[in-house]
Amino acid sequence: MSAAVVEQKQTPQPRVITTEPRFTDKVFRSVVTSGGLIAGLLLGLIGFFLIYNGFEAIRAAGLSFLTGFNWVDAVPEDGQAASYGVGAMLYGTMVTGILAMLMGVPVAVGTALFLSYYAPEWIKKPMVVVVDVMAAIPSIVYGLWGYFVLMPHAEYWAKLIHKYLGFIPFFDMPAPVFTRSPFIAGLVLAIMIIPIVTAVSREVFAQTPLERIQAAYALGATKWSMIKAVVFPYGRGGVIGGAMLGLGRALGETVAVYTVLNLVYDIRIEVLLSAGGSVASMIVNKFGEADPVELQALMGAGFVLFMVTLLVNFLANYIINKTARE
Amino acid sequence: MSQAILDVKPEYPWKLTPKDLVTDFLGALFTLASTLAIVGFSPLKGKLGFAITLIFMAVITTTIMSWIKLDRKAAFNSATTVLVYVTASFVIIALASVLYEIIRLGAPGFSFSIFSNDMSQTASDMPLTEGGLLHAVIGTAYIVTFATLISTPIGILTALYIVEVKGRFAGLVRFFVQAMSGVPSIVAGLFIFALWMIQLGNAYSAVAGGFALTVLMIPTVARTAEEVLKLIPSDLREAGLALGATQWRTVAMVVIPAARSGLITAVILGIARVVGETAPLLLTIGGADAINLNPTQGNMSAFPYYVWKNLLIGSENAISRAWLGVFVLMIVVLVFFTLARYLGAARGGRK
């Protein structure tokens, strides 16, 4: 009797097979998940705290916060009320960003083509390093270089453009001041966005199916007709996305633009004139002596800038991801 | 029979014949000569006139030459080839100019005494033999160390979440981190100012600057680490799991060690990205001329701030100081950059 009991006790339980993670895995997963969510949520936190602190200013100004041209502090002695609007600066940001794209993207795409299809093997590696180093240079270095080195040259170029193309309204010149213009700021920004546009374009060009390239060559295409017929149609989305990524960078650039652009609260279409705008530079410019009310307005301006760059970036990443998946 | 096969000489129809070389050489000569002639006898003057004429003449010459030799398509091809080479040389010229000017204007003020002095007893206008940027070195060291300490775990955890755990929000987190790498640096500064100073009532300090740089550093670390982790062959993971290891043990003992040098590269790239950031520091560290050894309290300086301040002062010696600051900053950036590339290349080489 007792022997049977002992035998029964010794019969092992069948092992429980489960997909339930072990305790350590649960801890591991929750730690990793919370780390990942912190990074994901940071974007939301940034937006929240900017709008939270800038809401008063935006509510007080209403829609004119986006469209207004004035950035005037309240002067109680004169009975003057504060009036804050980022319209002119937003317009100036767009102008310099678009100029940077017009000048930078062709060069960047050309460089990407050079690296993918034209460059001899020995120059490829150093050229990739050149583009990477350009991406690593901090913006204040570009600012200093743009102000002291590029501007004297660019001023001369601007005069030439005005002399020969002055009949186009964009290149008209009401006052002969050619320094610190949107044109020069766009030039500096163009150099700053070249690395990222080149990198993204190169990545899509590298994904062009080899058999299509070879098919084009087999049909007797020259290198350029191959690029026109195969590479561009295939990589169009990626190049557009890369250009927009560059635009996003250009819109948010602060110190480099600050040094080479004269901030004027006005909307002008003459890009060679020493008068432009940039939301980011304006924030740095006004931040030092801002009172609490103006600080709220600056937070509001930061929120507007944040939303604009986020929109451009979302769109750019969406286009690139879509192209990469196809 | 075998003799006959050996007699066949291999042909290289794509190789340039001496005749091709001569015509190419003559074409280049013609381009140069006509450019010099046009610059010499027309109002186009200076380097710019020369460059534009040279590009123009190069395009014209090659186009006409290949049109005569072959056809219209070949002509287009030659023209675009020249243009592609021109754009690439633009990029090289721009970078060369930046680096050359940094050395030309920054190196003369360099001496090792700048690492043993601060600016508390020296005005920016004084000659560069006075004062130094020790306070900026200390400030940047504090700020970047702090940013690295926070953003490394968060960045790598984010990458692990996307690649290893593949949680429900993996796609979303990936998309947000991607978008975050485009957040303007000034916005990061404003965010920390709103959260750390206005909301939590703290004063300017190195810690605040470190928080601001963290915001910019996380996306770089996370995205690079993600790429690195994706390169680890899944055989390794499966082998670990098949041996009965939990996921935690597999990641900690197999995946992370295999990806170690790549993860270090990710962190170094992140440091190189943020070490020169100026705008967020202008809003968060307050700026100082004296050495401040306490990272949690009091105004702090940093390289970019030092450059910025001297640039705004604008006198001759101050500008020289700004270039000196840029010179030292670029050395730091390039050291990190080279380190990252070296480690990345070592990883690629072993594969």
**Chain A residues near residue B187 by CB distance under 8 angstroms:** 46, 50, 252, 302, 305-306, 309
Structural domain for B94, as ranges = 18-107
**What is the count of structural domains for chain B?**
2
Whether residues B79 and B145 share a domain: the answer is no
Question: Could you tell me which residue, A28 or B62, shows the higher pLDDT?
Answer: A28
A209-A210-A211 Cα angle (round to 5): 95
For A121, A194, A195, B263, the CA distances from A201, given in Å and listed in that order, are 19, 10, 10, 25
Mean pLDDT across B3-32 = 78
**Chain A residues near residue B201 by CB distance under 8 angstroms:** none
For A306, B33, B65, the CA distances from B26, given in Å and listed in that order, are 56, 10, 10
Mean pLDDT across B149-159 = 94
Question: Are B188 and A224 in contact (CB < 8 Å)?
Answer: no
* Residue ranges in chain A modelled with pLDDT below 70: 1-9, 79, 324-326
Whether residues B168 and B215 share a domain: the answer is yes
User: Which of these, A147, A191, A189, A165, lies nearest to A272 by C-alpha position?
Assistant: A165
Residue A313 touches chain B, beta carbons under 8 Å:
yes
Residue B22 in any domain: the answer is yes
For A19, A59, B152, the CA distances from A79, given in Å and listed in that order, are 73, 21, 52
Copy the structure tokens of residue B172: 């979303």
For A101, A291, B244, B302, B318, the CA distances from B125, given in Å and listed in that order, are 39, 30, 69, 19, 6
Model confidence pLDDT, tens digit, residues A176-227: 778 888 999 999 999 999 999 999 999 889 889 999 999 999 998 889 999 9
**Chain B residues near residue A33 by CB distance under 8 angstroms:** 161, 165, 167
Q: How far is B121 from chain A (nearest CA, A)?
A: 24
**pLDDT value at residue B114:** 81
**Chain B residues near residue A194 by CB distance under 8 angstroms:** 91, 94
Residue B112 in any domain: the answer is no
Helices (H) and strands (E) in chain A, counts: 14, 2
Residue B157: pLDDT over 90: yes
Q: Identity (one letter) of the amino acid at B41?
A: F
Question: Are A140 and B176 in contact (CB < 8 Å)?
Answer: no
Q: Identity (one letter) of the amino acid at B212?
A: A
Whether residues B172 and B307 share a domain: the answer is yes
DSSP secondary structure, A24-72, as one string: HHHHHHHHHHHHHHHHHHHHHHHHHHHHHHHHHHHHHHTTHHHH---EE
Residue B351: pLDDT over 60: no
Copy the structure tokens of residue A22: 């072990």
Residue A53 touches chain B, beta carbons under 8 Å:
yes
Whether residues B72 and B171 share a domain: the answer is no
Residue B347: pLDDT over 70: no
Question: Could you tell me which residue, B39 or A139, shows the higher pLDDT?
Answer: A139
Whether residues B96 and B238 share a domain: the answer is no
DSSP state of A12: P
SS (H, E, C) B279-347: HHHHHHCECCCCCCCCCCCCCECCHHHHHHHHHHHCCHHHHHHHHHHHHHHHHHHHHHHHHHHHHHHHH
Residue A163 touches chain B, beta carbons under 8 Å:
no
Q: Do residues A283 and A68 touch, judged by C-beta distance below 8 A?
A: no
Residue B8 in any domain: the answer is no
Q: How far is A232 from chain B (nearest CA, A)?
A: 14
Copy the structure tokens of residue A100: 């940077």
In residues, how long is chain B? 351
Q: How far apart are CA A228 and CA A65, in angstroms?
A: 45
User: Which of these, A85, A192, A107, lies nearest to B184 by C-alpha position?
Assistant: A192
Partner residues linked to A84 by β-bridges: A71
Long-range contacts of A119-126 (CB under 8 A, 24+ apart): A119/B88
The minimal CB distance from B282 to the residues A284, A299, A302 is found for A284
Copy the structure tokens of residue A115: 């690296």
Phi, psi of A288 (to 5 degrees): -55, -45
Whether residues B195 and B90 share a domain: the answer is no
Mean pLDDT across B232-250 = 90
Question: Are B330 and A141 in contact (CB < 8 Å)?
Answer: yes
**Chain A residues near residue B162 by CB distance under 8 angstroms:** 36
**Chain A residues near residue B88 by CB distance under 8 angstroms:** 110-111, 114-115, 118-119, 127
Whether residues B50 and B90 share a domain: the answer is yes
Copy the structure tokens of residue B288: 């100082």
User: Could you tell me the pLDDT band of residue B10, with boundaries at 50, 70 and 90?
Assistant: confident
Whether residues B146 and B58 share a domain: the answer is no
End-to-end CA distance of chain A: 74
Tell me the torsion sign for CA atoms B217, B309, B115, A134. Answer: positive
For B11, B218, B338, the CA distances from B224, given in Å and listed in that order, are 47, 10, 16
Boundary-marking domain end, from B90, B107, B124: B107
Q: How far is B236 from chain A (nearest CA, A)?
A: 18
Question: Are B187 and A46 in contact (CB < 8 Å)?
Answer: yes
DSSP state of B204: S
Residues 6+ apart with CB under 8 A from B175: A317
Mean pLDDT across B339-349 = 71
Q: How far apart are CA B327 and CA B331, in angstroms?
A: 6
Whether residues B160 and B289 share a domain: the answer is yes
Residue B86 in any domain: the answer is yes
Residue B178: pLDDT over 70: yes
Question: Are B83 and A110 in contact (CB < 8 Å)?
Answer: yes
| Rg of chain B taking only CA atoms, in angstroms | 28
Q: Do residues A190 and B94 touch, judged by C-beta distance below 8 A?
A: no
Residue B337 in any domain: the answer is yes
Q: Do residues B138 and B245 touch, judged by C-beta distance below 8 A?
A: no
Model confidence pLDDT, tens digit, residues B278-333: 999 999 988 888 888 888 888 888 999 999 999 988 888 889 889 999 999 999 99
A48 φ/ψ sector (left φ>0, alpha ψ -120 to 50, else beta): alpha
Q: How far is B253 from chain A (nearest CA, A)?
A: 13
Question: Are B278 and A139 in contact (CB < 8 Å)?
Answer: yes
Mean pLDDT across B29-49 = 76
The minimal CB distance from B175 to the residues A37, A306, A317 is found for A317
For A74, A229, B1, B81, B151, the CA distances from B321, given in Å and listed in that order, are 38, 53, 80, 43, 31
Residue B118 in any domain: the answer is no
Lowest mean pLDDT among A74-78, A294-298, B82-86, B229-233: A74-78
Domains and CATH numbers, chain A: 87-325 (1.10.3720.10)
Question: Are A40 and B170 in contact (CB < 8 Å)?
Answer: no
In this structure, are strands A71-72 and A83-84 parallel, antiparallel, or unpaired?
antiparallel
User: Which of these, B173, B275, B260, B257, lies nearest to B216 by C-alpha position?
Assistant: B275
For A14, A36, B315, the CA distances from A23, given in Å and listed in that order, are 21, 20, 65
B14-B20-B24 Cα angle (round to 5): 120
Q: How far is A8 from chain B (nearest CA, A)?
A: 30
Which residue is listed with tokens 């010459």? B61
Residue B218: pLDDT over 90: yes
Half-sphere exposure of B73 (CA within 13 A, CB side): 9
User: Which A residues, 123 through 142, put their C-beta within 8 Å of a C-beta on chain B?
Assistant: 127, 129-134, 136-142
**Chain B residues near residue A36 by CB distance under 8 angstroms:** 157-158, 160-162, 165, 167, 169-170, 173
Whether residues B328 and B205 share a domain: the answer is yes
**pLDDT value at residue B209:** 93
User: Which of these, B346, B289, B335, lies nearest to B144 by C-alpha position?
Assistant: B335
**Structural element, H or E, at residue A163:** helix A151-165
Residue B35 in any domain: the answer is yes
**pLDDT value at residue B291:** 84
B325-B326-B332 Cα angle (round to 5): 95
CB atoms within 10 A of CB B32: 14
Best of A140, A200, A201, A308 to substitute, by most chain B Cβ atoms within 10 angstroms, is: A140
| Rg of chain A taking only CA atoms, in angstroms | 28
**pLDDT value at residue B2:** 55
User: Which A residues, 60 through 99, put their C-beta within 8 Å of a C-beta on chain B?
Assistant: none
Q: How far apart are CA B1 and CA B123, in angstroms?
A: 91
**pLDDT value at residue B5:** 64
Best of A222, A226, A281 to substitute, by most chain B Cβ atoms within 10 angstroms, is: A222
DSSP secondary structure, A204-258, as one string: HHHTS-HHHHHHHHHTT--HHHHIIIIIHHHHHHHHHHHHHHHHHHHHH--HHHH
Whether residues B224 and B93 share a domain: the answer is no
CATH number, domain with residue B291:
1.10.3720.10
The minimal CB distance from B279 to the residues A149, A194, A284 is found for A284
**pLDDT value at residue A8:** 61
Residue B349: pLDDT over 50: no
Q: How far apart are CA A28 and CA A41, in angstroms?
A: 20
Whether residues B82 and B141 share a domain: the answer is no
Q: What is the ipTM of this complex?
A: 0.87
Residue B116 in any domain: the answer is no
**Chain B residues near residue A106 by CB distance under 8 angstroms:** 87
User: Which of these, A82, A100, A203, lies nearest to A142 by C-alpha position?
Assistant: A100
Q: How far apart are CA A195 and CA A115, in angstroms?
A: 12
B16 φ/ψ sector (left φ>0, alpha ψ -120 to 50, else beta): beta
Mean pLDDT score of chain B = 86
**pLDDT value at residue B3:** 59
Which residue is listed with tokens 């070296």? B342
Lowest mean pLDDT among A88-92, A185-189, B28-32, B347-351: B347-351
DSSP state of A276: B
The minimal CB distance from A43 to the residues B48, B84, B176 is found for B176
Question: Are A39 and B155 in contact (CB < 8 Å)?
Answer: yes
Half-sphere exposure of B219 (CA within 13 A, CB side): 24
Residue B350: pLDDT over 60: no
Q: Do residues B325 and B307 touch, judged by C-beta distance below 8 A?
A: yes
Residue A48 touches chain B, beta carbons under 8 Å:
no
